[in-house]
């Protein structure tokens, strides 16, 4: 199984996401923003960071990267995609997920170990959890405040599209304590906290983050997707 | 060409108009220094040359007041086979295994951060990161010791949030974990906050880069951001003069940072190093192109011909002297063989970074030892100098030294004579006041603004005693770093104060189980023209050099920051010392927090009645006087070795250094870290009258609070006794969520402790900015 991790100029947690994929038992494949090919990967992670310096608006430039055109097309065909932090912002800018992420309500960057409740364990990335399970995953962002219209928020609730919520103090002011959402099909998930930083007790507060990466390995069937090119060995 | 057509000063003009008056004093040069420049050149300098000499001979670049003292770091250097590059390089390089080396250094960015807190602090991080990059290393972590005026002063509310946001904004965006530092408040920093920044990087030992511009015919390439008017005169105007009321007008002297560009610059440089494509590399920091061009050519004994108009400019109307003096950020100078130029430019292009050939390395003229640096601007020669004259032949001063007049009286006014609480209720109330005081309270409000997780190798970060980074994922090899300084101690005795800073950093590294191997320092002082300040500086350097020799760990680099004063009042002498230690296997690291009920709690080291200069004297009595705690470096060494061995043998569960606030503070921090209470019984000889207070709040050095799992107590105490290390059983770790209890004295629940400890900074700074109002429609 191959999990692709995209590197945009300014991506920072790409190495961590690749490591987490390896810890989960996958082969991590580095994807380059300027290369539209996905090199036969079975799932894609858009990692955290400050793609293109977050100029203009977080994720606003990254959505136009050549690799994103392919990812957007394949995601609509069912390719599992996980956007973490800046990746979540990119997915919203690319309209693969609804809503938007704005400046934290308190206007500070905040990094802390955050308690999060998994609300939906049926997505490609959360199958190894159970609904209602609480996990601890680091949150670290300056613009992680999820906003949407009341209609959108009600719709997300009704469709089970809220994947995770903050428990305890809301670290950024997100509406309805939203930490993660999914698309209607459930293959695309955006999450503000960083599961890739919670895969080893030596370097993280828990190993709870590993579940996102092991989940997707079970959700994908190798060779199910038809790729547009021959996969290099 | 006639002079009518040229609106800039040329060498030809300088020859024609030898008597033209030049504004050397405004640029910070003394009359005799100006005379020496004329002697060196055999004519008056051009405007560009004058600008170059003024910045290269500034205090900041030339170390003219500190040089004669700093030599001690070399003269008293302990033998170490680990040091691959030392003082004089961009940063010290230390081998930590046969094939891996680390490089680390701390620098100051004090004055810019007062003038423009966000950008000043941000570019402080950016500058030190490029120093590390220039050695051939991948930067892997940063740390920031910060010092501000009184916590409740209105201007601190302006400076602190900006500095913290700047440190975070730049470091977070670069993807470097911030693993530690300090946040200290003292009124002496009111008009002069201290913003120091440390970076640590990792490199294969065979990838160490050189700055020498070797090989006549090689191409000089400028890579990175365009050059603008920002930061002109940063080192000479800002860093080498005392502040006065016009300081806001110096805002244009502060640089503006672009961490995204720096991130791309890092990745491009690392690709260039990996492909072995360059001959030499130098970062552009203080003094910009001037420093990079002269240092690279002077160190190689070569010359250069530079066509300055080829430098990509952000502002096309810039004059040549401005281009040479600009401190625009995110730039590196590369020396490249002509056959590899295209490959170098290709890598830069891949990352979207500008790279421009601006000149060529030249050989010395026949009969000359060293080459000349000539710089042209649209065909006219504006600079023609021997580069060594700017780098190595600057002025050196043996400034007058005089012990401060008030020191004998200050030292006689001992804090040990102040009134002290003598009962449990008094101690309980005191403890709650102390842990809520600005210097002892929880610093999460600051450190939560920094990313500590990125790169996935952070094993320990603040509030742990030292930051610990994994370097090799397979072997578990890692490095621990701590930065410490206590300016009140240094004010009372600068020689001891520097050694106490060294001892604390050494201890902080040792308690994690690491083996201390190298030292860096940032020496923050007032004006060197004041003999009292210069005496403090000389004493601090002597103390640090002697201390390093005694501990057997060399100083590998550092930074001097003078002129930290507003008007006549200098800051307390503030030597900040960083110690780096090697951990053979980071999985064996020892964290600071209590984590298992029933573990035995031990205090290592000796407690004496030492309250002068203490946090207690300051918080409770606003008192600073007496002499600081006794320095015991052999004791520190024994403590470090014992803790290292105990960690290797798995005998200790936690260890926490005792420093500001003494045992009481250590007990609170160790309890709150993971939410376990502790039951303490004071030794009988410390249990009556005011002795319990002294035992809890004295700041005697060479001590650590350690927990030992059941079954290991005998082995642990035997290990300490073998090394003649005093060991006292204090009690046991209590249940999760319980209380901190001192038998016969007082008990405080963890909730009450936590509330007192965590409330202070959010109350002071939490509401200094408005909020992003998010409401459902």
Establish, for the pair of chains A and B, how many residue pairs have beta carbons separated by less than 8 Å: 110
Note the pLDDT of residue B256: 79
Contact A187/A80 with Cβ under 8 angstroms? yes
The distance of B766 to chain A (nearest Cα, Å) reads 8
Report the run of H or E that residue B704 belongs to, with start and end: strand B704-708
Q: State the total domains in chain A.
A: 1
| Strand-pair partners of B380 | B377
The distance of B744 to chain A (nearest Cα, Å) reads 37
**Does residue B93 sit in helix, strand or coil?**
strand
The distance of A77 to chain B (nearest Cα, Å) reads 31
Measured in residues, chain A has a length of 233
Q: Which residue of B has its CA nearest to A104?
A: B772
Low-confidence residues of chain B, pLDDT below 70?
A: 1-6, 233-254, 767-770, 777
Residue B196's nearest CA partner among B209, B214, B184, B211 is: B184
Q: In sequence order, which residues have a C-beta less than 8 Å from that of residue B747 and are 6 or more positions away? A: B428, B739, B740, B741
Tell me the chain A residues in contact with residue B169 when contact means C-beta distances shorter than 8 Å: 109
- Would you call A109 and B168 a contact, using CB atoms and an 8 Å cutoff? yes
Q: Which residue of A has its CA nearest to B585?
A: A202
Note the pLDDT of residue A56: 86
Our CA dihedral for B412, B414, B417, B423, rounded to 10 degrees, sits at 180
DSSP B356-422: EEEEEEEPPPTT-SS--EEEEETTEEEEEE-HHHHHTSS----------TTHHHHHHS-GGGS----
Interface check B776 vs A, CB under 8 A: yes
Beta strand B555-561 with B654-657 is unpaired
Q: Give me the residue from B172, B258, B777 closest to A150, CB to CB.
A: B777
Give residue A204's domain range.
2-230
Q: Which residue of A has its CA nearest to B587?
A: A202
Interface check B470 vs A, CB under 8 A: yes
Q: In sequence order, which residues have a C-beta less than 8 Å from that of residue B215 and are 6 or more positions away? A: B279, B302, B335, B337, B361
Across all residues in chain B, what is the average pLDDT?
94
- Give the whole-angstrom CA distance, residue B525 versus residue B697: 29
**Contacting B residues, span 242-281, partner chain A, CB-CB under 8 Å:** 258-261, 263-264
Residue A83's nearest CA partner among A203, A227, A179 is: A179
Contact B234/B255 with Cβ under 8 angstroms? yes
Token output for A125: 């990335």
Tell me the chain A residues in contact with residue B478 when contact means C-beta distances shorter than 8 Å: none
Interface check B773 vs A, CB under 8 A: yes
Alpha carbon of residue A22 to chain centroid: 17
Q: In sequence order, which residues have a C-beta less than 8 Å from that of residue B523 and are 6 or more positions away? A: B66, B537, B540, B541, B558, B559, B560, B561, B574, B575, B576
Q: First vs last Cα of chain B: how many Å apart?
A: 70
Note the pLDDT of residue B243: 56
Look at the block and give the residue holding tokens 């402080």.
Answer: B124
For B332-372, the pLDDT digits (tens) are 999 999 999 999 999 999 999 999 999 999 999 999 999 99
The distance of A225 to chain B (nearest Cα, Å) reads 31
pTM of the model: 0.94
For B215-265, the pLDDT digits (tens) are 999 999 999 999 998 877 656 555 566 655 555 455 556 677 899 999 999
pLDDT (tens digit, 0 to 9) for every residue of chain A, 233 residues total?
999 999 999 999 999 999 999 999 999 999 999 999 999 999 999 999 999 988 888 999 999 999 999 999 999 999 999 999 999 999 999 999 999 999 999 999 999 999 999 999 999 999 999 999 999 999 999 999 999 999 999 999 999 999 999 999 999 999 999 999 999 999 999 999 999 999 999 999 999 999 999 999 999 875 545 444 444 43
Tell me the chain A residues in contact with residue B772 when contact means C-beta distances shorter than 8 Å: 102-107, 145, 173
Tell me the chain B residues in contact with residue A173 when contact means C-beta distances shorter than 8 Å: 771-772, 774
A180: domain CATH number is 3.40.50.880
- Would you call B173 and A204 a contact, using CB atoms and an 8 Å cutoff? no
């Amino acid at each position: 199984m191959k999990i692709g991790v995209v590197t945009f100029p300014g991506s920072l947690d790409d190495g961590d996401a690749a490591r987490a994929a390896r810890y989960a038992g996958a082969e991590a494949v580095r994807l380059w923003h300027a290369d539209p090919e996905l090199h036969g990967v079975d799932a894609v992670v858009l990692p955290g960071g400050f793609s293109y310096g977050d100029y203009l608006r977080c994720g606003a430039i990254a959505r136009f990267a050549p690799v994103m055109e392919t990812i957007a097309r394949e995601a609509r065909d069912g390719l599992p995609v996980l956007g973490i932090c800046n990746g979540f912002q990119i997915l919203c800018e690319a309209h693969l997920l609804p809503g938007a992420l704005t400046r934290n309500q308190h206007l500070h960057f905040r990094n802390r170990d955050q308690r999060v409740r998994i609300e939906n364990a049926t997505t490609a990335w959360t199958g190894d959890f159970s609904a209602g399970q609480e996990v601890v995953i680091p949150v670290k962002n300056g613009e992680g405040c999820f906003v949407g219209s009341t209609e959108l928020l009600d719709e997300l609730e009704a469709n089970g599209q809220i994947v995770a919520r903050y428990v305890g103090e809301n670290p950024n002011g997100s509406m309805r304590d939203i930490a993660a959402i999914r698309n209607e099909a459930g293959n695309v998930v955006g999450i503000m906290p960083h599961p890739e930083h919670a895969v080893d007790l030596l370097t993280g507060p828990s190993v709870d983050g590993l579940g996102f990466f092991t989940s997707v390995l079970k959700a994908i069937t190798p060779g199910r997707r038809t790729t547009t090119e021959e996969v290099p060995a | 060409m006639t002079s009518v057509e040229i609106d800039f000063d040329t060498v030809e003009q300088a020859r024609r108009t030898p008597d033209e008056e030049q504004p050397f004093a405004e640029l910070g040069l003394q009359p005799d220094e100006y005379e020496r420049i004329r002697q060196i050149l055999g004519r008056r300098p051009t405007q560009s040359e004058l600008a170059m000499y003024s910045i290269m001979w500034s205090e900041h670049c030339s170390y003219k007041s500190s040089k004669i003292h700093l030599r001690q770091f070399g003269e008293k250097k302990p033998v170490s086979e680990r040091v691959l590059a030392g003082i004089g390089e961009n940063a010290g390089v230390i081998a930590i295994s046969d094939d891996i080396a680390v490089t680390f250094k701390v620098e100051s960015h004090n004055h810019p951060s007062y003038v423009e807190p966000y950008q000043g602090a941000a570019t402080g991080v950016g500058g030190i990161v490029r120093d590390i990059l220039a050695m051939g290393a991948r930067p892997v972590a940063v740390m920031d010791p910060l010092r501000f005026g009184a916590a409740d002063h209105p201007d601190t509310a302006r400076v602190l949030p900006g500095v913290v946001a700047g440190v975070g904004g730049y470091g977070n965006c670069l993807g470097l974990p911030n693993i530690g530092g300090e946040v200290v408040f003292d009124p002496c920093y009111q008009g002069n906050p201290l913003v120091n920044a440390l970076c640590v990087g990792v490199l294969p030992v065979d990838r160490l880069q050189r700055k020498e511009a070797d090989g006549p015919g090689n191409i000089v390439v400028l890579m990175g951001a365009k050059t603008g008017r920002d930061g002109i005169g940063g080192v000479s105007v800002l860093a080498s003069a005392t502040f006065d009321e016009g300081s806001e007008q110096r805002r244009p002297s502060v640089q503006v940072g672009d961490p995204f560009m720096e991130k791309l610059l890092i990745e491009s440089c690392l690709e260039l190093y990996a492909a072995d494509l360059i001959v030499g590399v130098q970062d552009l920091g203080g003094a910009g192109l001037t420093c990079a061009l002269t240092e690279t050519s002077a160190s190689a004994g070569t010359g250069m011909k530079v066509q300055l108009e080829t430098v990509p400019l952000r502002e096309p109307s810039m004059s040549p002297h401005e281009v040479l003096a600009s401190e625009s950020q995110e730039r590196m100078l590369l020396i490249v063989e002509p056959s590899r130029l295209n490959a170098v430019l290709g890598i830069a292009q891949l990352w979207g970074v500008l790279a421009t050939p601006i000149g060529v390395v030249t050989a010395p003229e026949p009969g000359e030892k060293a080459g000349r640096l000539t710089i042209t601007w649209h065909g006219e020669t504006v600079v023609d100098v021997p580069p060594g004259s700017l780098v190595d032949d600057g002025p050196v001063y043996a400034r007058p030294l005089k012990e401060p007049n008030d020191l004998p009286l200050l030292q006689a006014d001992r804090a040990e004579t102040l009134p002290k609480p003598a009962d449990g209720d008094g101690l309980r109330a005191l403890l709650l006041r102390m842990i809520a005081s600005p210097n002892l309270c929880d610093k999460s409000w600051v450190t939560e603004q920094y990313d500590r997780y990125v790169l996935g190798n952070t094993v320990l970060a603040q509030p742990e005693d030292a930051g610990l980074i994994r370097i090799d994922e397979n072997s578990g090899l890692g490095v621990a770093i701590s930065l410490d300084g206590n300016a009140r101690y240094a004010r009372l005795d600068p020689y001891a104060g520097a050694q106490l800073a060294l001892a604390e950093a050494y201890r902080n590294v040792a308690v994690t189980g690491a083996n201390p191997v190298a030292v860096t320092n940032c020496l923050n002082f007032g004006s060197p023209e004041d003999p009292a300040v210069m005496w403090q500086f000389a004493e601090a350097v002597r103390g640090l050099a002697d201390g390093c020799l005694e501990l057997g760990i060399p100083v590998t680099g550092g930074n001097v920051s003078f002129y930290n004063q507003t008007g006549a009042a200098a800051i307390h002498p503030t030597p900040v010392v960083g110690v780096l230690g090697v951990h053979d296997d980071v999985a064996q690291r020892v964290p600071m927090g209590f984590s298992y009920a029933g573990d035995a709690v031990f205090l290592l080291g000796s407690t004496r009645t030492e309250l002068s200069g203490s946090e207690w004297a300051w918080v409770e009595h606003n008192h600073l006087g007496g002499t600081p705690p006794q320095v015991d470096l052999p004791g520190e060494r024994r403590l470090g070795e014992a803790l290292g061995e105990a960690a290797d043998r798995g005998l200790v569960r936690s260890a926490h250094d005792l420093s500001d606030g003494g045992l009481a503070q250590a007990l609170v921090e160790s309890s709150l870290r993971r939410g376990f209470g502790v039951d303490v019984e004071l030794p009988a000889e410390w249990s009556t009258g005011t002795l319990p207070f002294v035992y809890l709040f004295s700041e005697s050095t060479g001590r650590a609070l350690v927990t030992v799992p059941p079954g290991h107590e005998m082995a642990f105490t035997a290990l300490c006794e073998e090394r003649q290390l005093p060991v006292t059983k204090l009690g046991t770790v209590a249940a999760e969520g319980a209380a901190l209890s001192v038998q016969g004295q007082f008990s405080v629940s963890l909730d009450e402790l936590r509330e007192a400890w965590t409330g202070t900074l959010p109350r002071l700074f939490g509401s200094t900015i408005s909020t992003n109002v998010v409401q459902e429609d």
